[in-house]
Structure 1
């Protein structure tokens, strides 16, 4: 069983973030959402470990759930 890596693990993360933002340049909201969904599914397939994916999904939902509770 794997575990989500939460410490920085990408060489030059700011450069990657800039490329990620640039990939959205000129896209409509729908196209941008589609790009994000495709990226998530490609990376989920690459990871392939449902325990890790479930943990990541739970982690990703936490800020939204906390925001909802405080509203």
Structure 2
């Protein structure tokens, strides 16, 4: 089951870290970074049903 309840101990800190990771990247580099991050996290999750539910929730 996909957890949509806030689950990060420091969401603001993570958001700041995510934004910093995009510093000095072009739009194309930023898009590629996001794609790599998504695929890395999808691989970590590894559960196709959860990933499908996440895709639907993101729509």
| Cα distance in 2, alignment partners of residues 52 and 58 from structure 1 | 10
The one of 25, 47, 50 aligned to 2:48? 50
For the residues of structure 2 that align with 1:6 and 1:57, how far apart are their CA atoms?
12
Any gaps of 5 or more consecutive residues in structure 1? 62-71
**Which residues of structure 2 form unaligned runs of 5+?**
none
Q: 2:33 aligns with which of 19, 30, 35?
A: 35
Distance 2:57 2:28 in 1: 25
TM-score normalised per structure 1: 0.81
1:23 aligns with 2:21: yes
Question: TM-score, normalised to structure 2's length?
Answer: 0.97
- Give the deviation of 1:4 after TM superposition: 1.1
Q: How many residues are paired up?
A: 59
Q: Which has the higher contact order (CA 8 A, sep 6+)?
A: 1
C-alpha separation between the residues in 1 aligned to 2:20 and 2:42? 22
